[in-house]
Amino acid sequence: MVLLLALLLVLLFGAVGFAVHLLWIVAVVLFVVWLVGLVLGRGESAGRHHFYRW
């Protein structure tokens, strides 16, 4: 019984670690896309105002 519980905990921690790692990758990709959009957006609309001022 203890071995089964230990195996379940290892699987749970492994799944949580994988999900957190995957979320970090998604966050970095979204940040890069946002950054590229911000840079390209400033180049084509230099005179217009956006809904945010940066």
pLDDT given at position 40: 80
- Residue 29: pLDDT band with limits 50, 70, 90: very high
Question: Residue 41 corresponds to which tokens in the numbers above?
Answer: 């957006």
Q: Can you tell me the distance from the alpha carbon of 40 to that of 44, in angstroms, rounded to the nearest whole number?
A: 7
Coil, strand or helix at 21: helix
| Amino acid at residue number 40 | L
Q: For residues 48 and 38, which has the higher predicted lDDT (pLDDT)?
A: 38
pLDDT given at position 46: 52
pLDDT given at position 32: 92
The structural domains of the chain, with segments of one domain joined by +, span 1-43
- The string of pLDDT tens digits covering residues 33-45 is 988 888 887 655 5
Q: How far is CA 18 from CA 22, 29, 48, 50, in A?
A: 6, 17, 43, 37
pLDDT given at position 41: 73
